[in-house]
Amino acid sequence: MNDHQLTTISDISQLYRENHANFERSGVPSRILFFEKSSSNSGAWEDFPTENIDHFKRYFSLEVPTFHLNFKKKSCLVDLNRMIVIDLMARSERSIAWIDEKGRCFFPKRSVDFSCCDHEDCSLSSQMHEDKCLSKINNECCVPDLNEEPLEEK
């Protein structure tokens, strides 16, 4: 295995840890979003249908990070640790994000198949990354909790 592969594996591991930390430190979500690509634009964060929100709340409350969900008439697997929803038939993935009941916003470090931000270099700080992502949520205001301490590694 060459150094590039090791760096890539390390990067993937780091992304997983950061996304998992979002699930660990988050409260029950009040709003769930998914990233939708379209041919007319580069994509945007959209709200999950209201009928899916109760499933998310229930599994968050039980601290269950993976569960099945019918989304857009498709059988899907939600993985809150990786911040994705997987279409089991098409084997495609979409990034998910959420805003918890305290108004704190949780976005993946990178979106699946698309970086949600306009920058190519995702070495920006998490706060800068989150701020750029937030500007794409239906022009609504959501203020991240700047006092939130990152989880310490065990």
pLDDT per residue rounded down to tens, the chain (154 residues)? 443 444 577 777 777 777 778 888 889 999 999 998 876 667 789 999 999 999 999 999 999 999 999 998 899 999 998 899 999 988 889 999 999 999 999 998 776 543 334 333 333 334 444 445 544 444 443 433 334 444 443 3
The number of CA neighbours under 13 Å toward the Cβ of 57 is 11
In the chain, what are the domain boundaries? Answer: 3-134
User: Phi and psi for 127 in degrees, rounded to 5?
Assistant: -65, -45
**Helix (H) / strand (E) containing 126:** helix 126-134
What span, in angstroms and rounded, lies between the C-alpha atoms of 154 and 151?
Answer: 9
8 Å CB contact between 130 and 111 = no
Query: In the prediction, which pLDDT does 136 show?
Result: 46
Distances (CA, A) of 2 to 5, 8, 10, 11: 5, 10, 13, 14
